[in-house]
């Protein structure tokens, strides 16, 4: 007889993650009864609480109800999914788009569909867990290269010939805020005849004056060797995820992706909200505000141990877990919510505070946070 109590004790004894029940109210977050200014959300444009976005979602609930009731292959394939896919692909500059339940599902299903045990996957060491797990699930041979080190990537490509090879990278890196060199990755893909998967979950809606992300900014949208993935759960203020590519790539994925076929379709209300969010992003004002806030933060934080980042993700390297937890606690005491990010999310010895900026923050909010950061000592 298995002692299940002991089994679960063992699962939890090596990890001390805390799931804080926390309620958001715009820029504020209430944790254990304390109202804090939130610098920890990926809702970079504040669209998750935007009146027009919420109104669009509510109207859709009134019309279509809450859940979608089935997988897209059964009866959950609402026409709005197709409309959104068409619109989103056109905005991003790709031939086709496929919507999925979440970024985690998109990446796990995508790599599982694309690769098999004869495939070689070349993956940046700091890629998001969903890409790591997708690669594992595929059974492919995985080569991890040092973060952003494209010389190492090239030597791995030279040494490992195979009929099917895939380079996989985050666009904007989620815990570091720095960015992949998409142009060089695609040059390597041309030279070594591979395809490239870029996950620009954090670049979409935040990078470039139009918010089209790193790929759009580099003028590489629609490249024949490129698949772009991202989530609606961040700057688009909603939930769900997209994959962009050529029409034939997307059709192939539709036939093969288990996380599409065997999972309930996105609710229409979630998509209706995302559609409205996209319309607002296209107007450009919120992106301008976000870029202004990033510039203000960078100008006024010289002397802090910031990692090199020009994006809305601004990590402050502290080193040990204890230092990071202590700093996060001190910030809470003066009214700010900035989480400590620790291993295994980041490498050992690189625990940090991860500040995320939003278009919603006012310069005075950011100024007060900066003062608190300097006061950490």
Ligand X SMILES: Cc1ncc(COP(=O)(O)O)c(C=O)c1O
Q: Give residues in contact with ligand X (CB under 6 A).
A: 102-104, 107, 128, 130, 170, 174, 199, 201-202, 231, 233, 241
Long-range contacts made by residues 82-89, C-beta under 8 angstroms, separation at least 24?
83/275, 84/271, 84/274, 84/275, 85/242, 87/275, 87/278, 88/242, 88/244, 88/278, 89/244
**Least distance (Å) from ligand X to the CB of residue 130?**
5
As a whole number of angstroms, the distance between CA 195 and CA 177 comes to 24
Closer CB to ligand X, residue 43 or residue 365? 43
Closer CB to ligand X, residue 99 or residue 372? 99
Closer CB to ligand X, residue 128 or residue 291? 128
**Least distance (Å) from ligand X to the CB of residue 233?**
4
Residue pair 115/140 in contact by the 8 Å Cβ criterion: yes
Nearest Cα to Cα of residue 325 among 7, 10, 13, 17: 17
As a whole number of angstroms, the distance between CA 340 and CA 311 comes to 19
Nearest Cα to Cα of residue 357 among 282, 276, 299, 279: 299
As a whole number of angstroms, the distance between CA 363 and CA 130 comes to 34
Burial 184-196 (b: 16+ CB within 10 A, else e): ebbebbeebebbb
What end-to-end distance do the CA atoms of the chain give, in Å? 54
**Least distance (Å) from ligand X to the CB of residue 99?**
11
The two tokens of residue 243 are 């994959």
Closer CB to ligand X, residue 78 or residue 170? 170
**Least distance (Å) from ligand X to the CB of residue 106?**
7
Nearest Cα to Cα of residue 229 among 207, 218, 247, 214: 214
Closer CB to ligand X, residue 50 or residue 202? 202
**Least distance (Å) from ligand X to the CB of residue 174?**
4
**Least distance (Å) from ligand X to the CB of residue 334?**
28
When CB distances to ligand X are compared, the closest residue is 103
Three-state SS annotation for 35-51? EEEECCCCCCCCHHHCH
Closer CB to ligand X, residue 136 or residue 292? 136
**Least distance (Å) from ligand X to the CB of residue 191?**
26
Closer CB to ligand X, residue 222 or residue 233? 233
């Amino acid at each position: 007889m298995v002692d299940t109590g002991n089994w679960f004790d063992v699962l939890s004894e090596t990890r001390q993650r805390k799931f804080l029940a926390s309620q958001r109210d715009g820029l504020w977050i209430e944790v254990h009864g304390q109202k804090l200014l939130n610098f920890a959300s990926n809702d970079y444009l504040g669209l998750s609480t935007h009146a027009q976005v919420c109104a669009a979602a509510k109207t859709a609930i009134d019309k279509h109800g809450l859940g979608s009731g089935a997988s897209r292959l059964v009866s959950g394939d609402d026409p709005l999914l197709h409309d959104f896919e068409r619109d989103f692909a056109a905005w991003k500059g790709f031939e086709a788009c496929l919507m999925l339940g979440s970024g985690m599902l998109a990446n796990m299903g995508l790599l599982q569909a694309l690769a098999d045990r004869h495939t070689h996957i070349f993956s940046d060491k700091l890629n998001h867990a969903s890409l790591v797990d997708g690669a594992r699930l595929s059974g492919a041979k995985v080569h991890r290269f040092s973060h952003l080190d494209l010389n190492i990537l090239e030597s791995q490509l030279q040494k490992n010939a195979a009929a099917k090879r895939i380079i996989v990278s985050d666009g904007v890196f989620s815990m570091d805020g720095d960015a992949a060199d998409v142009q060089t990755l695609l040059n390597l893909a041309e030279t070594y005849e591979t395809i490239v998967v870029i996950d620009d979950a954090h670049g979409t809606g935040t990078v470039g004056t139009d918010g089209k992300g790193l790929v759009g900014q580099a003028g590489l949208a629609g490249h024949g060797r490129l698949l772009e993935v991202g989530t609606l759960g961040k700057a688009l203020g909603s939930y769900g995820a997209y994959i962009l590519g050529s029409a034939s790539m997307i059709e192939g994925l539709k036939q093969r992706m288990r996380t599409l076929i065997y999972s309930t379709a996105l609710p229409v209300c979630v998509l209706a909200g995302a559609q409205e969010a996209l319309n607002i992003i296209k107007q450009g004002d919120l992106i301008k505000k976000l870029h202004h806030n990033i510039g203000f933060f960078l100008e006024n934080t010289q002397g802090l141990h910031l990692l090199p980042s020009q994006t809305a993700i601004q990590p402050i390297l502290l080193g040990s877990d204890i230092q990071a937890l202590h700093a996060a606690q001190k910030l809470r005491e003066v009214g700010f919510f900035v989480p400590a990010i620790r291993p295994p999310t980041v490498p050992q010895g690189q625990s940090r505070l991860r500040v995320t900026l939003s278009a919603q923050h006012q310069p005075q909010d950011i100024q007060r946070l900066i003062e608190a950061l300097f006061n950490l000592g």
